[in-house]
Structure 1
Amino acid sequence: MKPFALALALSLSAGAISAGAAHAAGASDTDEERAARWREIQTSIFGDRKVETTDALIKVDAPVRAMDAALVPITLTMPEKDRIAAVHLIIDDNPSPYAAQVTFGPAADPGELKLRVRVNNYTNVHAVAETKDGKLFETTKFVKASGGCSAPMGMSDEEAMKGMGDMRLKFAGEPQGGKPMEATLMIRHPNFSGMQMNQLTREYTPARYIQRVEVSYGAKNVLTLTGDISISSNPVINFAFLPEGKGPIRVVASDNQNGRWEQSFDAPSPSN
């Protein structure tokens, strides 16, 4: 597969299609136009690799109509989790469609993943599962939303950047040996999209967003997320890991302006 940065650049180029073009984004697009748009994006990200449609390997849950286009909850469910190596989230009509790539490590339980994203237009959201044998399978959800990538944060840039890089990690339930444990990672970061206008200066705030998040448990990788401007401000990632052995859980996050933050968390010990 092409590296994320190259695929992202190509999908950005594909996203620059003018409003009068045959595959223009918008609520009035036909099914055929949306299908053509997806073929372009699919080729830019995955090249000539075959992407099969599935209703079993991956499912995407999202609101049909988003209450807040800048904070749209997405849940990816992988029923046959033992087959899954990675997932790719593509928001077809966003300015940069390739929202996130998540690769699972040996300490992960890839059964479910939750993110909050920006949605800029009425669009198909594609979730692509990559299996351990290198095959690709996709499913689709249509979401109605508008303006999520340009929506202002309702505060000054300076206020939005206070505490940037601070992290919290919460666990759900009590750990039990051999069973996955759910965790919620919260990272303080404005994830400026480059499309948001500063309400005081009336100038556009330069893009500054989390590009990479690595989560490990002890010596084992849990997941690595590569993202872009489609991830909402103050990213929240819900994931599951296998609490075998001892922690800590270590999180390393970096952004596109060379910001880097690292924090370790005590992991609950599993019961015998």
Structure 2
Amino acid sequence: MSAVTTMKQNGGIWNIWLKFATITLCMCLATGNAWANDDGNRWFQIKTSLFGDKNILSGEEILGLESPARAMDAAIVPIAIDSKIEQTPDHYIKSLYLVIDNNPSPVAAVFRFPGKHSWETLSTRVRINAYTDLRAIAELSDGKLYMVNNYVKASGGCSAPSLKDPAAAAAQLGKIKFRLPEEFNHGDLVATQLLIKHPNNSGLQFDQVSRFYIPADFIRTIEVTFNGEEVFTADTDISISEDPSIRFGFTPEETGILEVHVKDSKGRSFSHSIDLTENSKG
């Protein structure tokens, strides 16, 4: 049974979040130091949980990873992952794992692709809680794993409070927008941005008024389709920044409907669609 199958059956990366949060807390209580002090052991545990004893190869010829060496804002760290291979139905990136070793929840997202729609770049914004290795791991359609990683200096991103007014944020909750180029031709790779209004509370943020921690409340699954066919799906968690933003590319071979379905950890569902017949925006 593959690691991906196991994750799906056991509740996806939400169970990994619970596992690592529990282990980290226990080690902090036992030693007085966060698990982040033993980076090698941390990555070994993450790798074993995700992939078992499968070998991970150098991914420098498969992926590119862009991230700041030192983040200006640890709660909003931009990252971009580039595909360096020509993706075809016979040879493509099936799954893409985004891992932040020293975050309380290290598996920030797992993206899955059907192999029909090629992509060149995938980008988002993440929280980083401590100086850490940031990893992108590609699982190809042949089952082989490839990894690239950068070191990012940032701290406190998972506990940083939102700067938005809570009432205004609640009023915008679940609003979704697509951004596309002003003009594009069918058959072209179209650079698209998905924007979701959601606090993505980590559960580690402290409310100065109530004097309690704000409960975790975050996007768990994202499914993007075009004319009913999957473009990509994603399992995400608290390491994705507030108001998630995902930039991706897909190739519409015909006119049709681009649609997204989102579910969060509170059981709420949100959807949005646009008709690309007339190059609609929004």
Report the residue type matching 2:258 in the other structure. Answer: I
Of residues 216, 219, 225 in structure 1, which corresponds to 2:225? Answer: 216
Task: Provide the aligned C-alpha RMSD in A.
Answer: 2.0
1:39 to partner: Cα distance = 1.1
- Deviates further, 43-52 or 59-68: 43-52
Deviation at residue 106 of structure 1 after TM alignment: 4.5
Preserved contact between residue 24 and residue 35 of structure 2 (Cα < 8 Å): no
Q: Distance in 2 between matches of 1:230 and 1:23?
A: 17
Mapped partners of 1:161, 1:64: distance in 2:
33
Q: CA shift at 1:92, angstroms?
A: 0.3
Distance in 2 between the 1:128 and 1:262 partners? 29
Aligned residues: 264
> Kindly tell me: are residues 162 and 22 of structure 1, through their superposed partners in 2, closer, same or farther at Cα, counting changes over 3 Å?
closer
The CA deviation at 1:43 is: 0.5
CA contact (8 A) 1:76 1:112 kept: yes
CA distance in 1, matches of 2:46, 2:131: 16
Alignment match of 2:154 (pick from 131, 145, 148): 145
Per-residue displacement from partner, 1:217-250 (whole Å, max 9, x unpaired)?
1121111011000000000000011111122111
CA distance in 2, matches of 1:97, 1:158: 30
| Helix, strand or coil at the partner of 1:207 | coil
Distance 2:64 2:96 in 1: 11
Note if contact 1:106-1:221 (Cα within 8 Å) is conserved in structure 2.
no
Q: Contact between 1:12 and 1:97, CA under 8 Å: does it hold in 2?
A: no
Structure 1, unmatched stretches of 5+, are: none
Among 73, 76, 87, the alignment partner of 2:81 is 76
Residue 124 of structure 1 aligns with which residue? Answer: 133
Q: Within the alignment, does 1:64 sit opposite 2:69 as a pair? A: yes
Task: String of CA shifts for 1:156-188, please: whole Å, max 9, x gaps.
Answer: 433332221101111025222332101011000
Greater helix content: 2
Choose which of 23, 35, 44 in structure 2 pairs with 1:39. 44
| Contact 2:108/2:236, CA 8 A, preserved across alignment | yes
Preserved CA contact (<8 Å) 2:130 2:154? yes
1-structure distance, mates of 2:149, 2:23: 19
User: In the aligned structure 1, how far is the partner of 2:245 from the partner of 2:277?
Assistant: 20
**2:186/2:255 contact within 8 Å kept:** no
Unaligned runs of 5+ in 2: none
Question: Which of 152, 164, 171 is matched with 2:173 structurally?
Answer: 164
Alignment-derived partner of residue 254 in structure 2: 245
Instruction: State the partner residue of 1:24.
Output: 35
State the TM-score, normalizing by the size of structure 1: 0.90
Identity, % of aligned positions: 35
